[in-house]
Amino acid sequence: MRRGPLRVGDKVQLTDPKGRLHTITLQPGGTFHTHKGYFRHEDLVGRPEGWVVTNTAGIEYLALRPLLSDYVLSMPRGAAVVYPKDAGQIVQMADIFPGARVVEAGVGSGALTMSLLRAVGDGGELHSIERREDFAAIARGNVETFFGGDHPAWRLSVGDLADVLPTVAEPGSVDRVVLDMLAPWENIDAVAGALAPGGVLICYVATATQLSRTAEDLRADGRFAEPSAWESMVRGWHLEGLSVRPEHRMIGHTGFLVTARRLADGIAPPERTRRPAKGAYPATDAEWSEEELGERPVSDKKIRRVRREVGQPED
């Protein structure tokens, strides 16, 4: 992320007197128009962050470079993004540290990728794997736009995790694995082979059925310690004089997180002393469709439009 005065090519977040946000990219000769006047981009070029610019109608706008959380929520997207509240939980609870070797599968639009790159730093390694080429192109455009070019720690591959992971990581060489996909349980074997003893697997899933299947398959695999699961919800507060109260709207359920540690080879997990009541497990193991797992289809038309927005047109 850039520092210093605002420059041509910078993304700038404008806040108007009503608190509404507008994101622009400073361009030579550019202008920012609303139905209530305009100002020229050159009025901001060379100014420090935190500058207030006034348009032709006398309306003031506070100008700041967007934070990562701001950028994620406003960037072009094909797939749904991992919200900042969940990205923060993933980085903290998976213990993503500077210099770590991390594998991420299910890149989507690149929102979580940017948080992971911030955490591993230039000396770490993040290998992102996305099965859809169009989503990978959108993610690359968003990541390169935010960091101003290639990130030295990042590699991006297109393909299925089970096929790509053995070709890019030696057995036991990966510190952390982050899965954001419909059926993470299908890749437990590949992940267990790549993770170092003590390594962390963390999965982001949308539904309780996915959460249950992931936890039970981790237990059945036998190479992981007992999984843990949780979700987080964020409620903002209205701050106005003595009128201090919770906001009427909040960010509720976005997804569940389930995490487990890799055991040493040949070690069996301790036997659980508490078991659920009879009937807690289904009699059959039915296959679920993508729609039943909560997948929302994205139209080809939208994908083409977003690819153009992030500078990654189809060949």
Please give the pLDDT value at position 103.
98
- Determine the longest span between alpha carbons in the chain, in angstroms: 72
Report the alpha-carbon angle 112-115-119, nearest 5. Answer: 135
Is residue 280's pLDDT more than 70? Answer: no
Q: Per-residue pLDDT tens for 211-236?
A: 999 999 999 999 999 999 999 998 99
Q: Are 136 and 158 in contact (CB under 8 A)?
A: yes
Rounded CA-CA distance 307/315 in Å is 11
Please name which of 98, 116, 120 lies closest in space to residue 180, comparing C-alpha atoms.
116
32-61: average pLDDT: 95
289: pLDDT confidence band, cut at 50, 70 and 90? low
Identical fold between 11-66 and 70-270+298-307: no
8-22: average pLDDT: 91
- CATH assignment of 70-270+298-307? 3.40.50.150
Q: Is 181 exposed, middle or buried (0-12, 13-18, 19+ CB in 10 A)?
A: buried
CATH 3.90.1150.110 given to domain 11-66: no
Task: Sketch the domain layout of the chain as residue ranges.
Answer: 11-66, 70-270+298-307
Q: Per-residue pLDDT tens for 237-246?
A: 999 999 899 9
Q: Per-residue pLDDT tens for 45-58?
A: 999 999 999 999 99
148: pLDDT confidence band, cut at 50, 70 and 90? confident
Please name which of 96, 110, 101, 105 lies closest in space to residue 144, comparing C-alpha atoms.
110
Is residue 285's pLDDT more than 60? Answer: no
Please name which of 174, 115, 169, 164 lies closest in space to residue 139, comparing C-alpha atoms.
115
Please give the pLDDT value at position 68.
92
Q: Per-residue pLDDT tens for 151-204?
A: 999 999 999 999 999 999 999 999 999 999 999 999 999 999 999 999 999 999
The DSSP secondary-structure symbol of 42 reads: G
